[in-house]
Amino acid sequence: MIIEPRTRGFICLTSHPKGCEQNVIDQIEYIKSKGAIDGAKKVLVIGASTGFGLASRITSAFGSGASTIGVFFEKPPSEGRPASPGWYNSAAFEKEAHKAGLYAKSINGDAFSNEIKKQTLDLIKADLGQIDMVIYSLASPVRTHPDTGAKYKSVLKPIGAKFQNKTVDFHTGVISEVSIEPAQGDDIENTVAVMGGEDWKMWIDDLKSEGLLSEGFTTIAYSYIGPSLTEAVYRKGTIGRAKDDLEATAFTISDSLKPLNGKAYVSVNKALVTQASSAIPVIPLYISLLYKVMKEEGIHEGCIEQIQRLFQDRLYADKIPTDDKGRIRIDDWEMRADVQARVAELWKEATTETLPKIGDLKGYEKDFFNLFGFMVEGVDYDEDVNEIVEIPGLQ
């Protein structure tokens, strides 16, 4: 079939297998061009199919020659209906990994559930024995608790007071005023239950109690801080509480890993266009201004550049540099004082009329469509493609 983008709000309903494949190949080429990283050799990536998780899987496999197991939640294709992009990404990743002689298998299902945890543990036992690294990169709006069956929904709300600021519809470029009511009732608890650290700890506890973690094991999860511009709705909002919880969980996990000389880390990453971040109000406007400034300064990075630098210069450096809260910072270029001062100035000037000039709306849009395999260089979109693609190592 000929596949074209079909958008509804901040999501795209279709995705292109060839475009997704090309994205993965480009990321692999980037990692190869940067040379070998002396990193983990047996790696489990939870949330492995898109964004930072996919970049982490690619960096592990093609930077360190690691065997990887990827867990994700993606929609398979059916006749006339393309899969979700993470499906095609994973198919392309495994095809390339197998070509390179690397072990790569995947599990598609709800990572929060006991069933998927058990299936993953069984696969590790059967194929790898033990693992030396877990990358935890889930971004989900919902979670069903595996023990109680309670269903939690995360919300993106400020805490204490209404939030009012500019936002952009990145499809039309129209800037408008958005107003978000503060969290109520169980909003905070629910968001922490979905995006906080409980599930990360459950994974590590389960793996540890089955003896599947090697001596010197490490695990890493991803967080975000961002500027004061987005603070009320992000870091000091409901999602920020979940990130506080995730960051605190790193210490709890580290304690439990002491007998193995293991450690848990949180890395604070840069704001980037992913399916998760496009859904957050205000963030797309911030990102389009940030991209403009960072590209002008020659310090713009995408997920793959971020993770490559995280592994090379932080995680596998002789001594892992952390901030006063024990976090790895790879958002250092985003948070540079000159970059933030410039973004804050542009923010004040941003209107529907000025944005095309002062912001990188084009870059935002391209990155957004790229997530779904569209607007990718070297792909012929007039070509008939088969939407039915298999993931070679899918269990």
Chain residues that interact with ligand NAI, rule: CB under 6 A:
47-53, 71-74, 86, 110-112, 137-140, 222-224, 269, 271-272, 274-277
Q: Say whether 112 counts as a known binding-site residue.
A: no
Q: Which is nearer to ligand NAI, 39 or 240 (CB)?
A: 240
Please report how close the Cβ of residue 138 comes to Na ion at its closest, in angstroms: 7
Q: d(Cα 220, Cα 325) in Å, to the nearest integer?
A: 15
Please report how close the Cβ of residue 228 comes to Na ion at its closest, in angstroms: 26
* Burial zone of 111 (CB within 10 Å; 0-12 exposed, 13-18 middle, 19+ buried): buried
Please report how close the Cβ of residue 71 comes to ligand NAI at its closest, in angstroms: 6
Cα within 13 Å of Cα(12), Cβ side: 27
**SS3 at position 151:** strand
Q: Say whether 322 counts as a known binding-site residue.
A: no
Q: Say whether 272 counts as a known binding-site residue.
A: yes
Q: Which is nearer to Na ion, 89 or 214 (CB)?
A: 89
Q: Say whether 73 counts as a known binding-site residue.
A: yes
Q: d(Cα 360, Cα 337) in Å, to the nearest integer?
A: 20
Tokens read off for 74? 């993606």
Cα within 13 Å of Cα(381), Cβ side: 15
Q: Say whether 48 counts as a known binding-site residue.
A: yes
Binding site residues, Na ion, CB under 5 A:
47, 51-53, 137
Catalytic residue among 30, 234, 265, 291: 234
Please report how close the Cβ of residue 15 comes to Na ion at its closest, in angstroms: 16
Please report how close the Cβ of residue 144 comes to ligand NAI at its closest, in angstroms: 9
Q: Which is nearer to ligand NAI, 67 or 275 (CB)?
A: 275
**SS3 at position 107:** strand
Residue 269 touches which of Na ion, ligand NAI, none (CB < 5 to 8 A by kind)? ligand NAI
- Active site (annotated) includes residue 364: no
Which long-range CB contacts under 8 A does 80-85 form with residues at least 24 apart? 80/1, 80/387, 81/387, 82/3, 82/14, 82/15, 82/16, 82/17, 82/387, 83/15, 83/17, 83/387, 83/389, 84/15, 85/15, 85/20, 85/49, 85/50, 85/371, 85/372, 85/373
Q: Say whether 193 counts as a known binding-site residue.
A: no
Cα within 13 Å of Cα(356), Cβ side: 6
Q: Which is nearer to ligand NAI, 163 or 286 (CB)?
A: 286
Residue nearest to ligand NAI (CB): 51
Q: Which is nearer to ligand NAI, 139 or 328 (CB)?
A: 139
Cβ–Cβ under 8 Å, residues 339 and 333: yes
Catalytic positions are 234
In the annotated binding site for NAD(+), the residues are 47-52, 73-74, 110-111, 138-139, 243, 272-274
In the annotated binding site, the residues are 47-52, 73-74, 110-111, 138-139, 224, 243, 272-274
